[in-house]
Amino acid sequence: MLGTIRVSGAKNAALPAMAAALLTDEPVTLENIPQVRDIETTRKLLAAMGAEVELGYGRAQHRTTICARNLTSPEASYELVKQMRASSLVLGPLLARCGRARVSLPGGCAIGARPIDLHIKGLEQLGAKITQDHGYVEATADRLKGGEISFEKITVTGTEDLLMAATLADGESVLHNCAREPEVADLAELLNKMGALIEGAGTPTIRVKGVGKLHGAKHRIIPDRIEAGTFIIAGALTGGDMNIAGCEPAHLDVLIAKLHEVGVKTAQSADTVRVMGDGPFKASDIITQEYPGFPTDMQAQYMALATQAEGTSVITENIFENRFMHVSELMRMGANIRIEGRRAIVRGKTPLSAAAVLASDLRASASLLLAALVAEGESIIDRVYHIDRGYEHIEEKLKGVGAQIRRIGEILPKKAAAPSRV
Ligand code: EPU
């Protein structure tokens, strides 16, 4: 694949930014919003609470303005939470702004159990009264009180939820063992523009001085590092020469260092990574970890590359307990992979042959797509609605750099598919 491919705004930064708009009665304008299904689900979620959500069109199609002046119903229904687990991000902001929130419990999903107990515990430490009934979390608080929270385990949306809640609490909060993902720092930047007093976002300890009120703001969402990483691997796998433009190379350091070990050549400028994938590739192990470690959201895509590397790559998934759903489909395409608990042992290099495969979640579908790009023959990937949750117009972007790809609609009836709450 040859040419330039542009990266969209980060879905996982856009989702908390939209939830942050609930903290003020003034309009919040967000730019570089990706056109993906999870954003549309969030729009519905906020609109159901009474917020006005304007999505741009034409040249402003990546902009949204949210005004949460009249929050008539501070609730996130099961109908929406089951479509998108990140809906639980509204819990903290609703409680802080309205003094009450009712949010459906997300339950498990395709990649693991994914509880929200750490969000709940943290909010209780800020003085919230929380009960769980009929599958819903009901939270109330007159006004949250600043406090000290130490996360037992690092959680990205948990950190974001508590950070948002603490902005309107009475007094200072200190959050320990926080997620350091760039998406957390981006959220803090938006909140500070809204008048919050946050220090230390992007480090393990975040300090928040509560304020009485937040105001409107305008903010540009950071580029999607996972989308960028997926395209870098696409360039490498296909022996291409591609520019991945509009990204933030600093957010890709660990991935790029690993790809260099594998034998992928890259060069970078301020906002572009050039990938030259002329191989041969050699196997290298990865262990997924919280940022700045190797991202779990790139594990499946890396596995597609590992099938084309000489030798044995051991891929250890440390964040989610069930994130190997792509393995059996990759094996159907000719990959040699064995799963041992949290480890997948990939023996390469094996030629891949085209097959009809089934996507099980967002990043698994990206991995199958990458494998299909190098497989001999024509592959059909079904349930691609998973990929639309987090990749903007992926087939058009890939077509622009030479992939032969087209969307042909659903093959299996939609209702036969289990919902994914990634
Ligand atoms: N966990 C708990 N209790 C909690 C919260 C999390 O036990 O209250 C556990 C989870 O079950 C998991 C681990 O902690 O084993 C880490 O989960 P985390 O909370 O960090 O994940 P998340 O916030 O639900 C976000 C991204 C995911 C990404 C993970 C890890 C968003 C909207 N989602 O999820 O993105 O995989 O962090 O980096 O930011 C994706 O984009 O494909 C995706 C799944």
pLDDT tens digit string along 322-334? 899 999 999 999 9
Contacts of 413 (CB under 8 A, 6+ apart): none
Nearest ligand 1 atom, CA 118: 8
pLDDT digits (tens, 9 = 90+) for 372-395: 999 999 999 999 889 999 999 999
pLDDT for 56: 80
pLDDT for 416: 45
For the purposes of burial, counting CB atoms within 10 Å of the CB of 409, is it exposed (0-12), middle (13-18) or buried (19 or more)? exposed
Low-confidence stretches of the chain (pLDDT < 50) are 415-422
Ligand 1 center to 224 CA (angstroms): 16
Nearest ligand 1 atom, CA 119: 8
Q: Which CA distances in Å does 63 have to 20, 183, 364, 393, 396?
A: 15, 18, 28, 17, 20
Cα 123–96–189 angle (5° rounding)?
A: 95
pLDDT for 106: 86
Residue 102 main-chain phi, psi, to 5 deg: -135, 110
109 flagged as catalytic:
yes
Return the sign of the alpha-carbon dihedral for residues 239, 245, 251, 253.
Answer: positive
Q: Which pTM value belongs to this model?
A: 0.96
Ligand 1 center to 50 CA (angstroms): 27
pLDDT for 102: 96
Ligand 1 center to 17 CA (angstroms): 16
Distance CA 300, CA 230 (A): 10
Which of 67, 98, 109, 178 is catalytic? The answer is 109
